[in-house]
Chain A
Amino acid sequence: MSDAIVKIRGTRSGLQLSFAKDADYEAIEKEILQRFESGSSFFVTGTEVFVSKDSLPHEQIEKLKRLFHRRGMRFRTEKHAAAHAKGKEQQQDQRQPAKEAAKEPKPGKDTSTEPQVQQMVVINKTLRGGQEIQTESSVLVCGNVNPGAQIIAGGSIDIRGTCRGMVHAGAYGNSKAFIIADHLMPTQIRIANLIARSPDVVEKTDKAERASIKDGRIVIEPIER
């Protein structure tokens, strides 16, 4: 299919989509849906999809964005855009730039035009077994992270509850990232490229704890908050 309406190219960070010159939006969406249906190995959960923001009118870009988000994929229109959460939690996430935390989130607005703004994914519920969050930004969970749940964050992870799942901070190499939880008892902690397995017997701590990298090792220490 050399004259396809949707052209897909693999890039280092994911997929780049471009469209035939005069293709109308209906046809584009139809073809993408067909690829989804056919179980194409391109479009798997968590894949980052890049569409240049000049390639389609704004409202069509927004529609596409929703389409990919519903499938648990990340969507970018700028080369170094900020993160989007992935996976089943997609619809429920409230993404908001940390600096604007007090204001209402603006789901429609693509803050990726301000690459300096640190974003944070806020999860306002317990993450249960089988649920997964993956994002390039930091994550705040107001709830527990249960066994079998997983968080992979480019930045740090703050859990206002008990963490028993698998948590990976600094997943894209940031060794300054840290993990905080009211009760930190995960199956595994990863920061950047280091892995720490919890001891076979873990007591429930009364104090919040913080895991970070010190002298090339993951250390856990109690904190006040």
Chain B
Amino acid sequence: MSEVIVVTSGKGGVGKTTTTANLGVGLAMRGNKVVLVDTDTGLRNLDLLLGLENRIMYDLVDVISGRVAYKKALVRHKKFETLFLLPTSQVKDKSAVNPEQLVQLCEELRKEYDYILIDCPAGIEQGFQTAIAAADCAIVVTMPEISAVRDADKIIGELGRADKENIKLVVNRIRPQMVEKGDMLDMGDINDILSIECIGQVPDDELVVTSTNRGEPVITMENSHAGQAYRNIVGRICGEQIPFMEFPKEGFFAKLKRVFGR
């Protein structure tokens, strides 16, 4: 049974692409056949995170427009043989791919792959509608800050409107010291507002950045906290019961109220 998962957020820069790359590698490391579809046209960078930039020949728009078969456009990962990338176009028109076309492509991909991960553009415009159209499941990525959580809330509403009810939450870039001081929303605050199942709590970790520069996602690094958090998410996606990593204690409603309660 293959699964199409869209990784989305509303707000940009919260870690959609990072999450997509890491989960893709993690699922492939477990022996799954995985394809990552980058739909963030114009802001192509999933290939960078995977160190595949120089291998791109064709892109999503070439495939959708029928210029090439999708198999020709797929880029195989250097290290993880069951991981493939379908890159997006760097330049072409954002509206070049419509929802029906992506649904059709995913139907094709389902025949060959266990997991199809779609990296979604920010916002709730056409690009978002296209990216979510084929998804069985949506992963909403947010950060522990008010504006990111509010945008996540909107996105969850939009997903509901599109009849996507299977929605999971990943909270990225958690900084335990800040949470402890009450300068950052804690998980209690976030769950309170978003009230959807959380499958990941990823700490802020410099290794995310350094690994990006090397083109090898942090999930491969044994000693990285973020890497461990991503491995846990992969386990949960595969149906395992994994407790969350220890984070400092919760209960900073006051901060939340200060900002939400205005």
Contact = CB atoms under 8 A, between A and B. Distances in A.
B253 A203 contact: yes
A204 interface: yes
A100 interface: no
A222 interface: no
A185 B257 contact: yes
Given A129-B154, A164-B193, A147 B260 contact: yes
Interface string B214-239: 00000000000000000000000000
B44 interface: no
Q: Chain A: interface secondary structure?
A: loop
Contacts of B261: 164, 185, 187, 198-202
A53 to B, nearest CB: 31
A146 interface: yes
Interface string B137-169: 000000000000011011011001100000000
Most buried by B among A146, A198, A199, A203: A146
Interface size class of A (residues with CB under 8 A): 20 to 34
Contact of A187 (B157, B258, B262): B262
A162 interface: yes
A148 B151 CA distance: 10
B154 A148 contact: yes
A111 interface: no
B93 interface: no
Contact of A128 (B153, B253, B257): B153
Nearest to A148: B150
A147 B146 CA distance: 10
Contacts of A202: 257, 261
A126 B253 contact: no
A187 B262 CA distance: 5
Given A144-B195, A147-B193, A129 B257 contact: no
Interface of B: 150-151, 153-154, 156-157, 160-161, 192-193, 195, 253-254, 257-258, 260-262
Interface of A: 88, 125-126, 128-131, 144, 146-148, 162, 164, 185, 187, 197-204
5 contacts: A129-B150, A130-B157, A147-B193, A199-B261, A201-B257
